[in-house]
Amino acid sequence: MTSGSNSSVGGGWDPFGWMNIGWTRKTGPSNDWIYSSVSNSSVNRYTGERIDHNSDKERYNEVSDATQLEYNYWMSGDILNIHITGTKSSPVANTTNNGGRQYLDIPYFEDGSSLTFGKDFARDLQSYYENGKGVDYVISKRRLYDIYNAAVKGNGFNWSRAESLGNNMYSVPMNLYNTDYHYSFGRASMTYYVNPSNGLRIPTGFYDEWNLDPKPWGTRSFPAETVTRYYNWRLNGENFIIRYP
Amino acid sequence: MSLMKKRWLVLSVLVIIIIAATVFLMSRRSAYRLAELHTGIEISERIKIADFQDEWYPNGDGETLIVFDLDESQLNEIERSCISQEYESLPIKDELPDHTIYQYINKTDSIGYYHFKQEGNDKRDYLLVVLDKASSRFYVYYAIY
């Protein structure tokens, strides 16, 4: 193992309301392990973001419930940036109101669910389209919360179109175009509960249908119809519903 | 450059221009053309557009919302078309997948006509056309999830 060298470490609160432990830039020899650790007594959980020179920005989904996070990476290149965030959230979902936007602290769930992001998640769904035989794809609660946070960050909710379902439950259309999920979803529907004591929202459900159905030319925009028809031609699969629960 | 090469070059440029022009023409989306496409009703370009939203995403999801302000003669003309196409009378009796239209009209509005059509298997994909005589407005809404 090689420890590498830190070139910068920052701090402060990031836009998600999480404590930004800092950016750590590791440099080391190619094709070797990088080992490092971070500790901060004010947080009890960590999530991270990894960027390397070979791929798009990618969050890694390692979560630790310790006051110290240790991590290992296989270095395939020359630079690895690791952005560590931590939070003191309890295992019960909390909502952070940051600058008028409500983000959820994503708790560490014991269900062993792991998250893939961006193009990787889209490839998972594409594979499910080809092999899932039309069976519903049920996302995890962590995924639900992550989608919610992504939509909040990307201004993807049409709050003015929210429809009351009774008992402080609402259904709202959303788009995920300005988020990491734009390869996976365009528009979708989410249900949420509004806590009457503080007005904060907790997502409770998600629904979308993944399909590649062509429409008559002119119905969609030309690029949208062209891309839809291309994938309909390229992929052989069955439409399926993505939902929670 | 040989004559043959020049001919190939000119031909290639022509093909590129034709493809580019075709893509450009097919990409043009005016509120009038879209309203006619969805409703089958001829919409004069003299009619004033109050709102036009046409957002489509690369995965094929999106929506089109068009709101026209009508004067009296335009209202009468579109009303005749709605009647000839056997539109239903307001208020909307169908259970709508979402409340988009109710940002513009009241659920109890009863003077006018509407047409509701669900698209495909996803109940959230639909076309809704509303002629609201109380506000002299004509709405065309089309959504795909």
Q: Does pLDDT of B34 surpass 80?
A: yes
Q: Where are the alpha helices (DSSP H) in chain A?
A: 118-131, 141-153, 222-234
- Chain B positions touching A224 (Cβ under 8 A) are 56-62
Partners of A48 in beta bridges:
A60, A84
In this prediction the pTM is 0.67
> Residue B51: its pLDDT value, please?
93
> Residue A155: its pLDDT value, please?
85
Q: Which of B34, B54, B98 sits opposite A173 (nearest CB)?
A: B98
> Residue A132: its pLDDT value, please?
81
Closest chain B C-alpha to A173 CA, distance in angstroms: 8
Nearest CA-CA partner of A87 in A180, A19, A12: A19
How many inter-chain contacts (A to B, CB under 8 Å) are there?
89
**Rounded to an integer, what distance in angstroms lies between the CA atom of residue A117 and that of residue A183?**
10
> Residue A104: its pLDDT value, please?
55
Partners of A107 in beta bridges:
none
DSSP result, A161-214? G-EEEETTEEEEEEE-TTSGGGGT-SEEEEEEEE-TTT--EEEEEEEEEE----
Going from the C-alpha of B74 to that of each of B81, B85, B116, the distances in angstroms are 11, 17, 22
Which of the two residues, B117 and A32, has the higher pLDDT score?
A: B117
pLDDT digits (tens, 9 = 90+) for B36-79: 999 999 999 999 999 999 989 888 899 999 999 999 999 999 99
Tell me what ipTM this predicted complex has.
0.76
Which of the two residues, B85 and A113, has the higher pLDDT score?
A: B85
> Residue A101: its pLDDT value, please?
53
> Residue A77: its pLDDT value, please?
38
Strands A240-244 and A137-138 come out as: parallel
Residues of chain A with pLDDT under 50: 1-36, 43-99, 107-112
Q: Which stretches of chain B sit within 8 Å of chain A by CB?
A: 23, 26-27, 29, 33-34, 37-38, 54-63, 98-100, 103, 119-122, 124, 142-145
The reply to whether residue A228 touches residue B54, judged by beta carbons under 8 angstroms, is: no
